[in-house]
Amino acid sequence: MSTLSENTIGQRSGRNGTLLGLAAAGAWALVAATTGLLPDVGDWPETENLAIAGAIIAVLLAASALLQRVSPALGRWLVDKSPWLIAIALFLSVWQLASAKLGWLPQPFFPPPQGIIEVFTYDYAELGISLVASAQLLIVGFIYGGVVGFIGGVALGWSQLAAYWIHPILRFVGPLPSTALLPIIFFAFPSSYSASIFLVALAVAFPMTVLTWSGIASVNPAYYDVARTLGASPLALVLKVAIPASLPYVFVGLFMALGAAFSSLMVAELLGVKAGLGFFIQWSQGWGSYNSVFTAVLVLALLCSFSITALFKIRGRVLSWQKGLVKW
């Protein structure tokens, strides 16, 4: 009975795999056709390569669709991924038609897909340098701001003296958008690099402080009673009870801080620093190189997404004792 139903399910997903695989192959053939068979409105050197790539993907998908009867793993992969492969192919085809072929989108402001590929093939060194510069600003600023915010939050939650001094400052400075301080920061700091680090760190420190503080304040007081009767010193109460108990809040703080860091990073780069993806975007726009603008935005999106993913991975590790964590 069970083997019978497994067989039917297997056959059904096999048939679905073939159909979906062939549909995906067709969609990528459409990418190849729209790109390669129609003349370009502008001058795009990578058009032919994109058409070839589309055709190769179409052939590979068609081959997989036929071979998936032999390999069940391939069949499952096709069933799982084909809808997205089809959607991406249709999006690329419409984009291709609307920009390079029919010119519905005003040129040169909306380059076709091959325009993006062109930047990756010709300008990869410049793009790579910009990526490294942005990542460096982001990471260094995030670490400074995160450490300061964490220590500030623990002090606020733990020490009345610290709360007396930090709380008013936090309430006054915290809500101010760090970008408002931009002109002051850029002449107050010796270099635009250190100014940008400060800007990112400032944006990170506020949510980190508030969330860490909330975390410390919400620790179950019985945890302290137990630890005290077991002989814990005040320092041990902070390190072994207060901080681990507040970590779930700290990670919410890190998540919010990361968002704030992206924003102030872009502002810093668009207005001050002479390196990084924000600067690359600004500079390309000045040259009217809109395909570079789009490419840099794409790389930036990848950088931000990767950072968030990394944060969630660390959180999953550190908070593995918690039930019901959101998966990213």
Question: Helical H runs in 70-191?
Answer: 72-96, 113-122, 124-158, 160-173, 182-188
**Binding residue (CB under 8 A) for other proteins from 23, 162, 247, 298:** 247
How near is the Cβ of 319 to other proteins at its closest, in Å? 8
Cβ-proximal residues to 271 (8 Å cutoff; 6+ apart), any chain: 182, 186
> What is the three-class DSSP state of 167?
helix
Cα dihedral angle (314, 320, 323, 328), rounded to 10 degrees? 30
Which is nearer to other proteins, 303 or 318 (by Cβ)?
Answer: 318
Instruction: Please tell me whether residue 159 binds other proteins under the rule CB under 8 A.
Output: no
C-alpha–C-alpha distance, residues 57 and 77, integer Å: 15
Instruction: Please tell me whether residue 225 binds other proteins under the rule CB under 8 A.
Output: yes
How near is the Cβ of 303 to other proteins at its closest, in Å? 31
Cβ-proximal residues to 46 (8 Å cutoff; 6+ apart), any chain: 114, 115, 117, 118, 121
Region from 97-105, 181-189, 233-241, 298-306 binding other proteins, contact rule CB under 8 A: 233-241
What is the pattern of x (binds other proteins, CB under 8 A) and - over residues 300-319? -------------------x
**Binding residue (CB under 8 A) for other proteins from 3, 231, 287, 327:** 231
> What is the three-class DSSP state of 7?
helix
What is the pattern of x (binds other proteins, CB under 8 A) and - over residues 178-217? ----------------------------------------
Cβ-proximal residues to 163 (8 Å cutoff; 6+ apart), any chain: 155, 156, 157
Instruction: Please tell me whether residue 229 binds other proteins under the rule CB under 8 A.
Output: yes
**Binding residue (CB under 8 A) for other proteins from 2, 70, 321, 327:** 321
Region from 2-10, 22-30, 119-127, 218-226 binding other proteins, contact rule CB under 8 A: 218-226
Cβ-proximal residues to 158 (8 Å cutoff; 6+ apart), any chain: 216, 238, 242
Which is nearer to other proteins, 39 or 231 (by Cβ)?
Answer: 231
Question: What does the binding site for other proteins look like in residue numbers (CB under 8 A)?
Answer: 220, 222-223, 225-233, 236, 240-241, 244-245, 247, 319, 321-323
